[in-house]
Chain A
Amino acid sequence: MPAKLDRIKDDALRDSLATAHVSLKSGNFPDVVHRSSDAYVEMLRRDPDLMKGPMGMRRILFYPRLGARLIQESDGSPAVIYDRETFSFSEAITYFEFAVDSLVREGV
Chain B
Amino acid sequence: MKFGLFYEHQLPKPYDSEQWDPDEEHKLLKNALDQIELADQLGFDYVFEVEHHFLEEYSHSSAPEIFLAAASQRTKNIRLGHGIVVMPPRYNHPARVAERIATLDLVSDGRVEFGTGESASEMEMGGFGVRREEKKGMWEEATRECVKMMSETPYSGVEGAYVGMPSRNVIPKPLQKPHPPLWVASSRRETTMVAARLGMGSLGFAFETPEELEERVDQYYQLVREECYPMGKALNPALAVLSVLSCFENDEEAIDKGLEGAQLFAYSLGYYYNPFTGGNHQPGGMNIYKRFMDTPPEQRWGPLGEGFRGFGGFQGASVTEEPKDEVTRALWRAAQRGGCIGTPEFIKDTLRKYEASHLDLMIFVAQCGARKHEDVMESIHRAGTKVIPEFKERHEKHQRWREQQLEGVEYPVNSSI
Contact = CB atoms under 8 A, between A and B. Distances in A.
Interface in A27-53: 52-53
A61 to B, nearest CB: 8
Interface in A66-85: 66-67, 69, 83-84
Contacts of B327: 62
A87 B191 CA distance: 16
A97 B136 contact: no
Question: How large, as a class, is the contact surface on chain A?
Answer: 20 to 34
B245 to A, nearest CB: 28
B194 interface: yes
A2 B223 contact: yes
A56 B223 CA distance: 31
Contacts of B284: none
A67 B190 contact: no
A51 to B, nearest CB: 10
Contact of A56 (B194, B197, B275, B312): B312
Contacts of B227: 25
Nearest to B275: A61
Contact of B140 (A61, A84, A89): A89
| Majority DSSP secondary structure for residues of A touching B | helix
Nearest to B162: A88
Contacts of B218: 3
B342 to A, nearest CB: 31
Contact of A3 (B194, B219, B275, B324): B219
| Majority DSSP secondary structure for residues of B touching A | helix
Nearest to A86: B161
Contacts of B114: none
Question: How large, as a class, is the contact surface on chain B?
Answer: 20 to 34
Contacts of B328: 58
B4 to A, nearest CB: 25
Contacts of A69: 133
A58 B331 CA distance: 15
Interface string B240-279: 0000000000000000000000000000000000010000
Contact of B312 (A54, A93, A97, A98): A54
A94 B312 contact: no
Contact of B133 (A4, A56, A67): A67
A91 B223 contact: no
Contacts of A101: 189-190
A98 B193 CA distance: 10
B198 interface: yes
A57 B308 contact: yes
Contacts of A87: 137
A91 B136 contact: yes
17 contacts: A2-B219, A4-B219, A53-B311, A54-B308, A54-B312, A57-B312, A58-B328, A62-B326, A62-B327, A83-B133, A84-B133, A90-B198, A91-B136, A91-B137, A93-B190, A93-B193, A93-B197
Interface of A: 2-4, 25, 52-58, 61-62, 64-67, 69, 83-84, 86-91, 93-94, 97-98, 101
Given A58-B328, A62-B326, 13 more contacts: A2-B223, A54-B308, A54-B312, A55-B312, A57-B311, A62-B325, A66-B135, A86-B161, A90-B137, A91-B140, A93-B193, A97-B189, A97-B193
Interface of B: 132-137, 139-141, 161, 189-191, 193-194, 197-198, 218-219, 222-223, 227, 229, 275, 308, 311-314, 324-328
